[in-house]
């Protein structure tokens, strides 16, 4: 699909690079197939254990942060799981996020929780780069190709997280057959985060669909706010990667158990560029 002019320049650059990598993947001809670890079951185990279901993201860097984190991603992933993460997200986009398919392979071998491949998939060939338990499809980026890409991912054995930002994208995701939906609080036109985005979209998501809140969740107060709005799980990157990943993950997963320890709410709209 054509990239909308209103997308932020950084996002347009990411999508252009994704197109180029899609061509390389097609030439490689390496087909992925997987027996996935059950994401919904992982969320249920976390709930049964009194934890907020959190997908913790291993992300070395991003276009909206300064610097990068050089720690061994496997050690980071293990710390997140030790902190109670129900699942992990691993960036495989190399040019802008410092990720790689090799990192995902290493992380998935080292942990026993479901692993989401976080990348910008725009063509079917990209699905064949690496095994994961879950793949991400961003409704805004794949447009009318969403039903075909969703089916192609499922044919390979992947579970699929379809990301949306508004009600129109939600309807397209549901029409395509999405059963796991993430609402991104970041507006890709301005790279501004507003937690009210999730709150406006969540009431229109059917109860049988697993619903994930993405972006801008900076601490326990935000976690509780998203859960109160209907989030079955949270996808959190920067708030966990900034500092001690095990302690940060534990703080978020215990957000509901430790509610009295964090009484100060944050503003509904955050104009900082905190990545997912």
Say if residues 76 and 58 touch (Cβ distance below 8 Å).
yes
Topology (CATH level 3) of domain 43-261? TIM Barrel (3.20.20)
Structure tokens at 111: 């942990």
Catalytic member of 59, 185, 199, 238 = 59
Given 3-state DSSP classes, what are the helix, strand and coil percentages for the chain, each rounded to the nearest 5?
45, 15, 40
d(CA 102, CA 90): 10
pLDDT of residue 273: 40
Going 204 to 209 to 215 to 217, the CA torsion angle's sign is positive
Look at residue 121 and tell me whether its pLDDT is greater than 70.
yes
Mean pLDDT over residues 180-194, rounded? 90
Q: Is 124 one of the catalytic residues?
A: no
Band of residue 248 on the pLDDT scale cut at 50, 70, 90: very high
* Nearest residue to 204 (alpha-carbon basis) of 168, 176, 240: 168
Hey, how many other C-beta atoms are within 10 angstroms of the C-beta on 61? 18
d(CA 19, CA 129): 14
- Find tokens 């049964």 and name the residue: 48
Catalytic member of 93, 124, 131, 214 = 214
Band of residue 39 on the pLDDT scale cut at 50, 70, 90: very high
Domain boundaries, the chain: 43-261
Band of residue 1 on the pLDDT scale cut at 50, 70, 90: very low
pLDDT of residue 83: 98
* Nearest residue to 126 (alpha-carbon basis) of 158, 88, 173: 158
- When the pLDDT of each residue in the chain is averaged and rounded to a whole number, the result is 85
CA 253 remoteness from chain centre = 16
d(CA 129, CA 143): 21
Catalytic member of 62, 100, 184, 238 = 184
pLDDT digits (tens, 9 = 90+) for 103-113: 999 999 999 99
Say if residues 233 and 239 touch (Cβ distance below 8 Å).
no
For the ranges 2-16, 62-76, 121-135, 245-259, the lowest mean pLDDT is seen at 2-16
pLDDT digits (tens, 9 = 90+) for 46-87: 999 999 999 999 987 554 455 465 789 999 999 999 999 999
Catalytic member of 62, 93, 100, 118 = 118
pTM: 0.85
Q: Is 215 one of the catalytic residues?
A: yes
E strand map for 102-141: 115-118, 134-138
E strand map for 74-133: 87-91, 115-118
Q: Is 163 one of the catalytic residues?
A: yes
* Nearest residue to 276 (alpha-carbon basis) of 52, 10, 58: 58
Give percent of the chain with pLDDT exceeding 90.
66
Mean pLDDT over residues 192-207, rounded? 97
Residues 6+ apart with CB under 8 A from 72: none
In sequence order, what are the beta bridge partners of 55?
87, 235
Catalytic member of 124, 131, 163, 251 = 163
Mean pLDDT over residues 29-33, rounded? 54
Catalytic member of 100, 132, 215, 238 = 215
């Amino acid at each position: 699909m054509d990239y909308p002019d209103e997308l932020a320049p950084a996002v347009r650059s990411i999508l252009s690079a994704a197109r180029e990598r899609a061509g390389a993947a097609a030439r490689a001809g390496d087909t992925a197939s997987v027996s996935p670890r059950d994401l919904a079951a992982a969320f249920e185990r976390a709930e049964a254990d009194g934890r907020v279901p959190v997908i913790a993201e291993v992300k070395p860097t991003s276009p909206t942060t300064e610097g990068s984190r050089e720690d061994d991603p496997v050690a980071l992933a293990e710390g997140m799981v030790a902190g109670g993460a129900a699942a992990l997200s691993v960036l495989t986009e190399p040019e802008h996020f410092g990720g790689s398919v090799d990192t995902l392979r290493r992380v998935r071998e080292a942990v026993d929780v479901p692993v989401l491949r976080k990348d910008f998939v725009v063509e079917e060939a990209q699905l064949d780069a690496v095994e994961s338990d879950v793949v991400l499809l961003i409704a805004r980026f794949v447009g009318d190709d969403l039903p075909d890409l969703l089916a192609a991912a499922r044919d390979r054995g992947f579970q699929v997280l379809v990301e949306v930002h508004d009600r129109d994208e939600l309807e397209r995701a549901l029409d395509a057959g999405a059963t796991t939906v993430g609402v991104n609080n970041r507006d890709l036109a301005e790279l501004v985060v507003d937690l009210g985005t999730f709150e406006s979209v969540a009431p229109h998501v059917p109860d049988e669909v697993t619903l994930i809140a993405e972006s801008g969740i900076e601490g326990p107060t935000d976690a509780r706010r998203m859960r109160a709005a209907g989030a079955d799980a949270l996808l959190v990157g920067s708030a966990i990667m900034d500092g001690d990943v095990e302690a940060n993950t534990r703080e978020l997963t215990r957000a509901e158990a430790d509610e009295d320890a964090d009484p100060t709410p944050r503003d509904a709209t955050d104009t900082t560029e905190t990545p997912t």
